[in-house]
Amino acid sequence: MTTQIKPNKKEATREKNQKLILDAAEQLFSQLGYDGASMSMVAKEAQVPKANILYYFKSKDGLYESVIDRIIANWNLGLDNVTINDDPATVLYNYIKSKVILAVNQPMQSRLFASEILRGAPYLQNYFRTNTRPWVKQKVDVLQAWMDADKMDKVDPYHLLFTIWSTTQYYADFQAEVLLVMNKLEYDETDVAQITQSIAHIILKGIGLKVPEQSET
Amino acid sequence: MTTQIKPNKKEATREKNQKLILDAAEQLFSQLGYDGASMSMVAKEAQVPKANILYYFKSKDGLYESVIDRIIANWNLGLDNVTINDDPATVLYNYIKSKVILAVNQPMQSRLFASEILRGAPYLQNYFRTNTRPWVKQKVDVLQAWMDADKMDKVDPYHLLFTIWSTTQYYADFQAEVLLVMNKLEYDETDVAQITQSIAHIILKGIGLKVPEQSET
DNA sequence: TTAGTAATTGACCTTTTGGTCAGTAAAGCT
DNA sequence: AGCTTTACTGACCAAAAGGTCAATTACTAA
């Protein structure tokens, strides 16, 4: 029937199993941290023999690294293709909004990163150096250009970025605290809008911008 | 010489040893997390036999709880005794400043809390319910009163508090990332002022306030 | 002093950890 | 079909985990 190049049964099952394992590992690592999650737990969760995991991923470290790599692969840093000609308010508003949506709807990835950074980022050091740092540098340049053109207040662009990251990720990483303090069991549909609104108001006004009336997707 | 009630040598050494152990545990737990730090590591770090730790603190859980309790004991939530008559700008500016100083100078405690909350706050649930929540409620009321009196913008007071917490704690919890992105080895003396300035500018202006000229200690 | 009590700890135990390996099953190829 | 090679996995292992306990060492009070 299918004459694909490689519908190898071998590769097929391998990929299927690897996905199973990575999914389980991602969940457990983000929930319990690197040390808190054990290989046997991952095996049980993925319904795969433990030795199979070691066969695919050499070691626990290897598995952990693969989990991180996979997250990074589709970890859209957002804010791409921004230029000096764009409107700061619109760009930043949309960025904040997308980060809040991510935090509320997919907190696991954010938490995995958080626990990794808390531990001193042993596995992310390289990623930060070779990817995040240049990416940040570029955004900082755009922000600086906007400031120089008096399109927004002059604040330290690095700290502005940190402010956006911290405020938005907070709702993922510290979800337990937020919910406890607000006496809620979980976020509801209105929360995303509410959070976005509050953060955007404070930050945008805080740097001399106005929250745009209508946002684009 | 001393006629104190209880200069028992017993109690003296017990307290001394307990402090030794708690110090070591605090450092290790905040560095490696609950699962990452082992009893033998704590024993070695505190230069005390492992069985002694178990003798004082029943179990690893007990030790961990004691560490948390001790931190909470002198964890000044700040912002105390605030009333509607106070000046919002001054109060919030000082609060931000004190949180930044804490984040930069004593990041360990913040990180321990962070890793605890990341795990779903198993040991802090009760604390949040019985302490933080009422505390927050009270501050929220004051903020709301300020807003009603048109002393500041009307934003959700909960999210405003979260914004202050997240932005300031970020420099403790995500220190590794901040330093990597900014290409620094460690924070220097100018950073505290710089960070405070940036955060205060954004947040205060963001809620319709002005950064006070001169701050009080 | 000394008896009584509490503090201390070395040795030991069980369970779990990450990891190996030899043997078996399953493709793939001709 | 038969042979080669790769994929898989149950059984096993040493190390480290948290925790117990009986024996020893302080203190304290009389």
User: What's the pLDDT tens digit per position in A191-207?
Assistant: 999 999 999 999 999 99
Share of chain A above pLDDT 70, in %: 95
Q: Which of B72, B136, B166 to probe by mutation at the A interface, max A CB count within 10 Å?
A: B166
Check if the beta carbon of residue B100 is closer than 8 Å to that of residue B170: no
Read off the pLDDT of residues A10-30 as tens digits, 9 standing for 90 and up. 778 889 999 999 999 999 999
**A and B: number of Cβ contacts within 8 A:** 168
**Contact (CB<8Å) A202/B206:** yes
**Contact (CB<8Å) B132/A181:** yes
- Asked if residue B55 keeps its beta carbon closer than 7 A to nucleic acid strand C, the reply is yes
Q: Which of B181, B198, B202 sits opposite A136 (nearest CB)?
A: B181
Please say if the pLDDT value at position A76 is more than 80: no
Check if the beta carbon of residue A205 is closer than 8 Å to that of residue B205: yes
Q: What is the pLDDT along chain B (217 residues), one digit of tens a residue?
A: 333 344 577 778 888 999 999 999 999 999 999 999 999 999 999 999 999 999 999 999 999 999 999 999 878 778 999 999 999 999 999 999 999 999 999 999 999 999 999 999 999 999 999 999 999 999 999 999 999 999 999 999 999 999 999 999 999 999 999 999 999 999 999 999 999 999 999 999 999 999 998 654 4
Q: What is the pLDDT of residue B10?
A: 72
**Contact (CB<8Å) A202/B201:** no
CA B8 / C1′ C3 distance in Å: 20
- At which residue do the structure tokens 């200069």 appear? B7
Which nucleotides of strand D come closer than 7 angstroms to any CB of the protein?
6-11, 16-21, 26-28
Q: Which of B19, B6, B75 is nearest to B46 (CA)?
A: B19
Q: Which of B34, B118, B181 sits opposite A132 (nearest CB)?
A: B181
CA angle A71, A72, A76 (to 5 degrees): 105
Q: What is the pLDDT of residue B62?
A: 98
Rounded Cα gap, residues B117 and B95, in angstroms: 22
**Six-digit token string for A194:** 């509410």
- CA quadruple A10, A16, A17, A18: dihedral, nearest 10: 100
Q: Which of B114, B194, B199 sits opposite A163 (nearest CB)?
A: B199
Q: Which of B164, B139, B39 is nearest to A199 (CA)?
A: B164
- Asked if residue B49 keeps its beta carbon closer than 7 A to nucleic acid strand D, the reply is no
Could you write out the three-class secondary structure of B126-146? Answer: HHHHHHHHHHHHHHHHHHHHH
- Asked if residue A6 keeps its beta carbon closer than 7 A to nucleic acid strand C, the reply is no
What are the residues whose beta carbons fall under 8 Å from the beta carbon of B50, sequence distance 6 or more? Answer: B39, B40, B42, B43
Phi first, then psi: what are they for A91, rounded to 5°?
Answer: -60, -50
Check if the beta carbon of residue B23 is closer than 8 Å to that of residue B42: no
CA A34 / C1′ C22 distance in Å: 31
- At which residue do the structure tokens 């933080």 appear? B132
CA B120 / C1′ C10 distance in Å: 38
For residue B99, CA distances in Å to A78, A150, A170, B128, B140 come to 29, 31, 16, 19, 18
**Six-digit token string for B114:** 């962070």
Which chain B residues touch A167 with a CB distance below 8 Å?
Answer: 162-163, 166-167
- At which residue do the structure tokens 């804490």 appear? B102
Q: Which of A64, A52, A65, A58 is nearest to A13 (CA)?
A: A52
Q: What is the pLDDT of residue A12?
A: 81
For residue A15, CA distances in Å to A9, A12, A117 come to 10, 5, 29
Q: How confident is the model at residue A74 (pLDDT cuts 50, 70, 90)?
A: confident
Other CB atoms within 10 Å distance of the CB of residue A199 = 29
Q: What is the pLDDT of residue A214?
A: 65
Which chain A residues touch B198 with a CB distance below 8 Å?
Answer: 155-156, 159-160, 163
Rounded Cα gap, residues A178 and B9, in angstroms: 46
Please say if the pLDDT value at position A1 is more than 60: no
Kind and range of the H or E element at B104? Answer: helix B88-105
Please say if the pLDDT value at position A186 is more than 80: yes
- At which residue do the structure tokens 């991180």 appear? A68
CA angle A79, A81, A85 (to 5 degrees): 100
Q: Which of B27, B115, B159, B187 to probe by mutation at the A interface, max A CB count within 10 Å?
A: B159
What pTM value is reported for the model?
Answer: 0.93
Please say if the pLDDT value at position A217 is more than 70: no
Read off the pLDDT of residues A91-149 as tens digits, 9 standing for 90 and up. 999 999 999 999 999 999 999 999 999 999 999 999 999 999 999 999 999 999 999 99
What are the residues whose beta carbons fall under 8 Å from the beta carbon of B184, sequence distance 6 or more? Answer: none
What is residue A156's three-state secondary structure? Answer: coil
How large is the angle between the packed helices B50-57 and B39-46, nearest 10 degrees? 110
Q: What is the pLDDT of residue B213?
A: 83
